[in-house]
Chain A
Amino acid sequence: MSQKSFVWLCLLPLAVVTTAFFLLPMARLVVAGAEGPHGLAGYLAVLTEGRYRATLFNTVLLAAAATVVTLIVATIAGMFLQRHRFPGRAVLIAMLTFPLAFPGVVVGFMIILLAGRQGLIGDLSNRIFGEKFVFAYSIYGLFLGYLYFSIPRVILTIMAAVQKLDVGLEEAARSLGASPWAVQRDVVLPALAPAFVASGAIAFATAMGAFGTAFTLATNIDVLPMLIYTEFTLAANFATSAALSVGLGLITWLILALARTFSGSAVAAAG
């Protein structure tokens, strides 16, 4: 057997798995999307039908907002945790990264315990203002849930990036007269850009597709995964749910690709 055919033989399992569990279902999904009463126009409905479009818009907005807020919180926290040594630091890092171990359902449950009808925030606000603040079952609760499980992933990436940052860069900028703010703006944040893109992409993709949390909180939250679920199980509308699934995948992929291109120059320059 020649060296070359041996390599191809080794790749065979990968090819089988890819075809069976990746390409075939994907193709089936794409075909299913066009098998509704409207044919290929079923795909267009994702954009033209008001309800679907609003949901799509909502989902992207929610995922984007969760990503941005996660990046802000995690950058500040990650930078602080990497640069300072204090008693309890290890415990704090462990606590911050603990949610990695939770499935979406548990995160949803925790949001309900915090901001649900019997939740801590409702209790507290009831005592202080005589009114219960309850937002667990809305898009705000979902937003909080997304933060909860995005922050650990992003914090770890940022901490690793901060560790690799040359302290000399900041000292050089300061010696040239840069204020602490200017140092962050001109030196630190650009150097962390690749980490932002990488970890932000994961946070965004997770938030676009997360289902468990949304499902635990309420069945009527307007996000795409919930819509796919209701179309599929309740309305038995295979074609539409397939079209929505393809749409969800494409849009997530497109936005991530855009983010990469947009930050491409910064990423290259920082390398």
Chain B
Amino acid sequence: MSTAGHGAAVRIEACGKTFADGTRALDPATLDIARGETLVLLGPSGCGKTTMLRIIAGLELPDAGGKVLFDGKDMTSVPIERRNVGMVFQSYALFPNMTVADNIAYGLKIRGVARDERAARVAELVALTNITGLENRRIDQLSGGQRQRVALARAVAIRPGILLLDEPLTALDAALRDRLRTELNRLLRALGITTIYVTHDQAEAMELGDRIVVMRKGAIAQIGAPREVYFVPKDRFVAEFIGAANIVEAPIENGILILPGGRLSIEGGATTANATVMIRPETIRVTNAGTEALSGVVDSVSFIGDRQRIVVSGASSKPLNVDAPNTIQAKVGDRVGLSIAADALRLLPSEP
């Protein structure tokens, strides 16, 4: 397909942002995004992810000293209209006074592309985003999912060097969001444009991102591939923000984690008086009491369908969440053994 494999490499250099009223939205950050990569900026609201996206887009100027480079070219003072970026907004920001086709073709019209060529490009994008037949509809006649597709088609129509998406699925209901996420993923892979995607939803980040930048309070907490961020979180915040995590605080003696309900061997565990350790719920196996070094009492069992969430108290200082297969029979009050592999225990730096 004709749109495949274009895109620019992006570098932001020491880009910080302090607003006029003195609030620091973003600490100076440096980040490289490879050509064709999908990078997800992930974090809770107010973490600076949207500010970073808007700096890359050219909608915000970084504080003095910050630089934005596309393919090595300094774009810091170039306004958004000359950056050739495609942008999808959370509100979609579709033009209500234009039809679907006119919305998609708008960027081409501004660029002076001939009518026939515009029509051909619109037809191509309408097919690609699965909205064939809606070309002459007005925007207020579209559903949320259809609007989202039009917004994406419009952003991609101009063959942008970089595609910027600001929480594009947040306004949709959960079932549609899951479906569109898969579709969006397929589309982004097919287009191969450098993509920067802002979200607060870690499932979205995992599925879509080649790399994830986890942000917190205006600073980058961790950058890494989804697996890396999930399995090897850098700190407690990342561990708890990405997926579910049990955070256990206990002393380590000679590679053994000492818990109220027993002992666990841990990799790379030097002797520490008070270590912080992450254990993912799905890495804990529930067995019969007495067979394991660690045991506890079942506090509650929630059947979710594909699995069950069992809360076990007494094993650690705080109750442990366990994701167990849906076949296991466990009742509240049962004493159970817990088996956890040594490499599933992740030592985190203690919080200052």
Q: Which residues of A contact B (CB under 8 A)?
A: 166, 168-169, 171-179, 182, 186-187, 190-191, 193, 266, 269-271
CB atoms of A166 and B93 under 8 A apart: yes
CB atoms of A175 and B81 under 8 A apart: yes
- B237 contacts the other chain (Cβ, under 8 Å)? no
Q: Which residues of A contact B96 (CB under 8 A)?
A: 190-191, 269-271
- B19 contacts the other chain (Cβ, under 8 Å)? no
In angstroms, Cα B163 to Cα A176, docked, is 11
Can you list 13 A-B contacts (CB < 8 A)?
Answer: A166-B93, A171-B80, A172-B95, A174-B80, A175-B85, A176-B106, A177-B107, A177-B158, A179-B110, A182-B110, A269-B140, A270-B96, A271-B140
Among B87, B95, B155, B158, max chain A CB count under 10 A is at B95
Q: Which residues of B contact A (CB under 8 A)?
A: 57, 59, 79-87, 89-98, 106-107, 110-111, 138, 140, 154-155, 158, 164
CB atoms of A177 and B82 under 8 A apart: yes
CB atoms of B95 and A175 under 8 A apart: no
Q: Which residues of B contact A176 (CB under 8 A)?
A: 81, 86, 106-107, 110, 154-155, 158
| A-B contacts besides A175-B164, A177-B82, A269-B98, 6 pairs, CB < 8 Å | A166-B93, A173-B95, A176-B107, A187-B97, A271-B96, A271-B140
In angstroms, Cα B91 to Cα A266, docked, is 21
Q: Which residues of A contact B86 (CB under 8 A)?
A: 175-176
Kindly provide the distance from the CB of B322 to the nearest chain A CB, expressed in whole angstroms: 44
In angstroms, Cα B96 to Cα A174, docked, is 16
In angstroms, Cα B83 to Cα A169, docked, is 17
CB atoms of B111 and A177 under 8 A apart: yes
Q: Which residues of B contact A179 (CB under 8 A)?
A: 81, 110
Contact of B106 among A171, A173, A191, A270 (CB under 8 A): A173
Q: Which residues of A contact B57 (CB under 8 A)?
A: 175
CB atoms of A177 and B81 under 8 A apart: yes
Closest residue of chain A to B87 (Cβ to Cβ) is: A175
Kindly provide the distance from the CB of B244 to the nearest chain A CB, expressed in whole angstroms: 34
In angstroms, Cα B138 to Cα A173, docked, is 17
Kindly provide the distance from the CB of A164 to the nearest chain B CB, expressed in whole angstroms: 12
Q: Which residues of B contact A187 (CB under 8 A)?
A: 95, 97
CB atoms of A269 and B106 under 8 A apart: no
In angstroms, Cα B150 to Cα A176, docked, is 14
Knowing A176-B107, A177-B110, the reply to whether A169 touches B80 (Cβ < 8 A) is no
In angstroms, Cα B79 to Cα A179, docked, is 10
CB atoms of B106 and A186 under 8 A apart: yes
In angstroms, Cα B136 to Cα A2, docked, is 50
CB atoms of B97 and A178 under 8 A apart: no
How many A-B Cβ pairs are below 8 Å?
A: 76
CB atoms of A172 and B111 under 8 A apart: no
CB atoms of A169 and B81 under 8 A apart: no
In angstroms, Cα B93 to Cα A265, docked, is 20
5 pairs of A and B residues whose beta carbons are closest in the complex = A176-B107, A168-B93, A190-B97, A172-B93, A175-B87
Kindly provide the distance from the CB of A116 to the nearest chain B CB, expressed in whole angstroms: 45
Q: Which residues of B contact A182 (CB under 8 A)?
A: 110
Q: Which residues of B contact A269 (CB under 8 A)?
A: 96-98, 138, 140
Knowing A176-B110, A177-B158, the reply to whether A169 touches B140 (Cβ < 8 A) is no
Kindly provide the distance from the CB of A99 to the nearest chain B CB, expressed in whole angstroms: 32
Kindly provide the distance from the CB of A175 to the nearest chain B CB, expressed in whole angstroms: 4
CB atoms of A169 and B93 under 8 A apart: yes
Kindly provide the distance from the CB of A195 to the nearest chain B CB, expressed in whole angstroms: 14
CB atoms of A178 and B59 under 8 A apart: no
In angstroms, Cα B107 to Cα A222, docked, is 50
In angstroms, Cα B97 to Cα A186, docked, is 8
In angstroms, Cα B93 to Cα A263, docked, is 22
Closest residue of chain B to A177 (Cβ to Cβ) is: B110
Closest residue of chain B to A265 (Cβ to Cβ) is: B97
Q: Which residues of A contact B83 (CB under 8 A)?
A: 175
Kindly provide the distance from the CB of B92 to the nearest chain A CB, expressed in whole angstroms: 8
Q: Which residues of A contact B164 (CB under 8 A)?
A: 175
In angstroms, Cα B262 to Cα A156, docked, is 72
In angstroms, Cα B59 to Cα A84, docked, is 17
CB atoms of B59 and A171 under 8 A apart: yes
Kindly provide the distance from the CB of B134 to the nearest chain A CB, expressed in whole angstroms: 16
Kindly provide the distance from the CB of A147 to the nearest chain B CB, expressed in whole angstroms: 29
Knowing A176-B106, A176-B154, the reply to whether A191 touches B97 (Cβ < 8 A) is yes
In angstroms, Cα B82 to Cα A186, docked, is 18
Kindly provide the distance from the CB of B32 to the nearest chain A CB, expressed in whole angstroms: 22
Contact of B87 among A166, A172, A266, A271 (CB under 8 A): A172
Q: Which residues of A contact B91 (CB under 8 A)?
A: 166, 168
Contact of B95 among A169, A174, A177 (CB under 8 A): A169
Q: Which residues of B contact A173 (CB under 8 A)?
A: 95, 106
Q: Which residues of A contact B138 (CB under 8 A)?
A: 269
Closest residue of chain A to B102 (Cβ to Cβ) is: A186
CB atoms of A172 and B89 under 8 A apart: yes
In angstroms, Cα B89 to Cα A176, docked, is 13
CB atoms of B81 and A178 under 8 A apart: yes
Q: Which residues of B contact A270 (CB under 8 A)?
A: 96-97
Contact of B79 among A166, A168, A174 (CB under 8 A): A174
Kindly provide the distance from the CB of B28 to the nearest chain A CB, expressed in whole angstroms: 24
In angstroms, Cα B78 to Cα A174, docked, is 12
Closest residue of chain A to B155 (Cβ to Cβ) is: A175
Q: Which residues of A contact B84 (CB under 8 A)?
A: 177
